[in-house]
Chain A
């Protein structure tokens, strides 16, 4: 999947996470701000990286503002932001289901 323009998904509510994806020349960078960064920062980044990898996104700048989201929420917000940033509207649920759990 190709990131064509900046896009984001998620809210600032407690237990949610806002994921913003922006085009980048190469590589994946993640700037994370989290209320539980000390305890779960690495785990949150790993979840975002895994979802991006499964969507075959290799060049992107990620900004994440976390309010204590669970792993399933982190994955869902990353996928939604990626589809928006790539201008893809038909979600390939079967493909997503094959790796999301």
Chain B
């Protein structure tokens, strides 16, 4: 009878080696971007494994010799229990289309698929809940979308919104909900509302887990450390989810993005958006707005904030946003 145990990858080197060997044998990359790892053992032999990274279940492998022994269910149950301990009832998994059925029989529902990868979720609040809240914000007429982190909201973001707002009846601006930025999600949402309030046809919404999130596009948050091949697959799924579920709910036929000369991960994302959108959604790629010859970027703004470089901040930020940051800064000067 196989036994469930936690594997401490950084401490137990023998078990870590067995774990890596099992993943390799199963044709999976040995991905160390994991937080908690579980194994099913027969004595000292590792038969199956699954790991958690945030809400994502990954590195799931069962030894070919031990298949059909129902080793997957206790592993996933352990992962759900771990999430439950952290106050979450929501899990995501990426898998190959060929193994999708196993996870569906364990309560997962498919969200979006590309040719190589399927993204599934289990638990709540789920995509249906999110689409329901979008439905309530829906307005009639033509519609475009912009997805932004707005960390913080710059004159560049404002320019992008203004261009879209001139061409479409409604512009839905989605602000990333992940709490992995200098400014909190609540602050970023407030700044975008403040910075776009002059446009009566702009609707500001959160992305929750379904656009450029820790679930759909985790590489975005790794930036320099991201594996571009992995980022490409995630970006494709993120784009497909937008095409297959989010855009139809709001009647969105176009998306606006800025050219991305600086970050390779974001550049990969824009390329995959273009590929997934063909025949469905028009992608408008606008050149970056520049001030005094330099393209505006939120990264530059954050550096200027750190250096208290007032003249740069005034150039790159709307006065209302600059005021907001000064009023809400915990290290106000």
Residues of A at the B interface (CB closer than 8 Å) are: 6, 8, 11-14, 18, 20, 22, 33, 35, 63, 65, 67
Contact = CB atoms under 8 A, between A and B. Distances in A.
B70 A6 contact: no
B124 A12 contact: no
Given A6-B89, A65-B106, A22 B124 contact: yes
B89 A12 contact: no
B77 A13 contact: yes
B77 A11 contact: yes
Given A6-B89, A8-B89, A33-B104, A14 B70 contact: yes
B64 interface: no
B73 interface: yes
A33 to B, nearest CB: 6
Contacts of B107: 12, 18, 20, 33, 63, 65
Contacts of B106: 12, 65
A74 B125 CA distance: 23
B104 A12 contact: no
Nearest to B104: A33
B89 A14 contact: no
A1 B73 CA distance: 32
Contacts of B77: 11-13
Given A12-B107, A33-B104, A65-B106, A6 B124 contact: yes
Interface string B72-98: 011011001000000001000000000
B124 A33 contact: no
B105 interface: yes
B55 to A, nearest CB: 16
A12 B104 CA distance: 12
Contacts of A13: 73-74, 77
A14 B123 CA distance: 19
A35 B105 contact: yes
A22 B77 CA distance: 21
B124 A20 contact: yes
Contacts of A22: 124
A67 B89 contact: no
A22 B125 CA distance: 9
Given A6-B124, A18-B107, A65-B106, 6 more contacts: A6-B125, A13-B74, A14-B70, A35-B105, A63-B107, A67-B73
Nearest to A14: B70
Closest 3 CB pairs of A and B: A65-B107, A6-B124, A12-B73
B125 A12 contact: no
Interface in B21-80: 70, 73-74, 76-77, 80
A18 B80 CA distance: 12
Contacts of A6: 89, 124-125
A2 to B, nearest CB: 17
Nearest to A67: B73
B292 to A, nearest CB: 52
A75 to B, nearest CB: 20
23 contacts: A6-B89, A6-B124, A8-B89, A8-B124, A11-B77, A12-B73, A12-B74, A12-B77, A12-B80, A12-B106, A12-B107, A13-B73, A13-B74, A13-B77, A18-B107, A22-B124, A33-B104, A33-B107, A35-B105, A63-B107, A65-B106, A65-B107, A67-B73
Contacts of A33: 104-105, 107
A20 B80 CA distance: 14
A8 B123 CA distance: 9
Most chain A beta carbons < 10 A, residue from B70, B74, B80, B105: B105
A35 B104 CA distance: 11
Interface string B122-144: 01110000000000000000000
Most chain A beta carbons < 10 A, residue from B76, B105, B107: B107
Contacts of A18: 107
